Chain A
């Protein structure tokens, strides 16, 4: 009969241990109990789920089918309450009892909530609005609640607290971090590093930080209204997240008679003291006085445990881990390991600080070995240092090389010399051998290997190394991820090839492109193809309405409740009393839920049901402002020389002329322009896809590739010209070149740096390649093909074009702001 193995705890350590046992061909009849009602997921990714970077579905490591395939009985959502060591039985919360021959305890930790008045409501658990951050359910509940509230306080300024605070910003407007110690991350960082980090967190992320803040009470009767600190300060808030540390889940073990101190005490084979058949692994284990709160140690522990319990290597022993930590907050680099500073008289401390830039770095060296390192604000050296720290390897004579890239060949360890079992990704426990196996198994792209092994998908520090290993393992035959270069996912060609094929086969409709080049029709590729074909064929384009995204089918932007917004054209942001009256009358007559001035200098009527769009356009009798399409949008202007005492050019007139000419032109991404009357830049021209700045002497500067959206970038100077006419021409030429060469959804702020401003100057201004006349001509043809889409209102283009898609729901559901 096969031995019965029972595992308590279905988290990262429990599931990993079972994987290691299976990998050794362990012949067990396996039963697992997990308190959480799921398969095993990557707990460390909860920070990314909260921050909205990762989807819930992407974090599962072992889904339910994995258990079934490996013949494991999983009792998800079932707690073990008691272990009987003598009868070798475990007793579960559902009343069942299960016998074992070998037992693994992997119960992890729970969030620690200090005794704060008001944190709990007697008999009801946490006070409404108070959360901890440990499980998927915690994360879901926190997101749901935060979305409907406004101000959060996070208690605890360690790794978890910082990640929680950053993640919460994704859901509500205001976050305060209250930390009891004198500086952030005090377990990992010294005071200087902690202060530098605090400045970055406050200034770059806009999170208010309170240090030396002891929370004494959580206020609020039914739901949270604030927290009170020792000293009396009250911080108003409606969400509280407690991230004040963790405590091993060892109560069941203690109640059952195992030796428990801070965690469940184990020997070097990961067995509980004096218990030959009970193993303990992960955060609930205390080994040589250490209890770990990170994943790296548990990968090593799981290997030793598996070697021992399967008998593959009875002498396997765990000797403890050197751990490095990294903060997973985008844009705030922090890595730390070992000592925070010199502790012995002859420890060498090499330190560099540039507080104004948010940078602090140090390394601590003892007897020629790295015993500590801290990187704040620039973690470029993290991978190298973590390696030196964990391996205790030889350090460069010039210690500064540990903190900076000093130029010259960097003494990077050759990938070929790395042993196969060496761990590369500490977050997901992937070794060099694992990466090589994926390459051998046919994955020839870095992205493919990362997907297959999860290497590089945790904190991201090891990505460069993963890349080098993949390159090495593939013997230099590494492939660029081909799909990454496709214009749309459904047709396997980059844009130039695709355009060539479209011309060659005279493909004028989206369905003909699929039929000739792509094989199956692909919903996610239709919109990009429609845009490209329209640009290439102009009036000859065969317009299939299903290829358009809903916004382009009904010429309005869809809202969260399925209604639409209407933004009429208002060239250069200039309007008239008559136009304003008309808009006001329309809004009143149709009970428009909200009238708003947009960031693009025009007026938005929001919350319009689809079936009312044609009527509203007719009543407005203004052209579309194209606020819904991947197209030319607006030209923002300032008042310029006609009115402003500083103005040196008529920016308003030029802006209106530009908008009149290029209105509605579609492209790979939105095109937003501005013209400003002097370098004071009131129309924000430096940060537009194309921005024009009047300068003294009747000249105009043209900037391209600027952005102030999700990405902020000052545009590059394309040319300085002497007349408004030249601006008109160069604008058209630039936009056309972008339309023909930009990738689908690639805004100019990505495209301009990709092709390079020098190249653009050569092609567009100097006409070094003789392309200018053709570009100008094709742009002129597109301009000629412009039709105001809002004229499409008397005759629907397709049956039911404006029919509601939610007939039984009363729209709008968006709030009415009268």
Chain B
């Protein structure tokens, strides 16, 4: 696991993209305080998933409103899955495993 930034970089209920080892990872901070990480690029047509709207389960891509499960990366609307990554918070720092 490597540190990628502070949890305070992400407002509650939103996502922000971090570049980690040449990859773009969208990290979401759920309203219950937990954190999820997915590939940042929508597999449908390349939309920025970090700009999507989320709840405790899913992220909805802003471009064509397809949805993905935040925990597994599986699509909830018949699209290809996105990769999901383990993340945890330690002392307000975000740690991610590629």
A267 lies within 8 A of chain B by Cβ: no
Interface residues of B in 63-98 (CB under 8 A from A): 63, 65, 67, 77-78
A546-B12, A560-B63 known; A807 and B56 CB under 8 Å? no
A-B contact count (CB 8 A): 98
B-contact bits for A515-554, CB 8 A (1 contact / 0 none): 0000011111011000000000000000011110111010
Contacts of A560 in B (CB 8 A): 45, 63
Q: Could you pull out 12 A-B pairs where Cβ atoms are within 8 angstroms?
A: A57-B77, A58-B78, A520-B55, A521-B55, A523-B52, A523-B58, A523-B67, A524-B53, A524-B67, A545-B11, A562-B48, A798-B11
Which B residue sits closest to A527, measured CB to CB? B53
Min Cβ gap A338→B in Å is 39
Please measure, in the bound complex, the distance between the C-alpha atom of A807 and the C-alpha atom of B24, giving whole angstroms.
7
Bound form: Cα–Cα A561–B18 in Å: 18
B38 within 8 A of A: no
Cβ-defined contact, A799 with B17, below 8 A: no
Is there an interface contact between B62 and A549, defined as CB atoms closer than 8 Å?
yes
Query: Closest residue to B70 on the A side, CB-wise?
Result: A523
What size tier do the contact residues of chain A reach? 20 to 34
Given contacts A57-B78, A805-B40, A808-B24, contact A550 B52 (CB under 8 A): yes
Interface bits B13-24 vs A (CB < 8 Å: 1, else 0): 111111100111
Q: Mark B41-64, 1 if CB is under 8 A from A, else 0.
A: 100011111111111111110110
Cβ–Cβ < 8 Å partners of A527 in chain B? 53
| Residue A232 interfacial (CB < 8 Å) | no
Q: From A803, which residue of chain B is reached at the shortest CB distance? A: B16
Residues of A close to B49: CB separation below 8 A: 805
| Residues of B participating in the A interface, judged by any CB pair closer than 8 Å | 8-19, 22-24, 26, 31, 40-41, 45-60, 62-63, 65, 67, 77-78
Residue on B nearest A547 in the bound complex, by CB: B13
A58 partner residues in chain B, CB cutoff 8 A: 78
A800-B9 contact, Cβ under 8 Å, with A521-B56, A807-B17, A807-B24: yes
Q: How far is the CA of A23 from the CA of B18 in the complex (A)?
A: 54
Q: Which residue of B lies closest to A490 (CB)?
A: B55
- Chain A residue at minimal CB-CB distance from B66: A55
Partner of B14, one of A545, A562, A809: A545
Name the distance in Å between B91's Cβ and chain A's nearest Cβ.
18
Q: Is the interface of A mostly helix, strand, loop or mixed?
A: loop
A546/B67 in contact, CB under 8 A: no
Is A453 interfacial (CB 8 A cutoff)? Answer: no
Cα distance A526–B17 in the bound complex, in angstroms: 22
Q: Once the chains are docked, how many angstroms separate the CA of A545 from the CA of B14?
A: 8
Which of chain A's residues have a CB closer than 8 A to the CB of B47?
562
- With A56-B78, A805-B48, A807-B19 as known contacts, state yes or no: A522 contacts B62, CB within 8 Å: no
Tell me whether A558 and B63 are in contact (CB under 8 A): yes
Chain B residues within an 8 Å CB radius of A808 = 19, 22-24
- B13: chain A residues at CB < 8 Å are 544-547
**Residues of the A chain whose Cβ atoms lie less than 8 Å from the Cβ of B53:** 523-524, 526-527, 546, 549-550
Docked Cα-Cα span, A561 to B51, in Å, equals 12
Knowing A546-B12, A805-B48 are in contact, say whether A524-B60 is a contact too (CB < 8 A).
Answer: yes
Chain B residues near A562 (CB-CB < 8 A): 46-48, 51
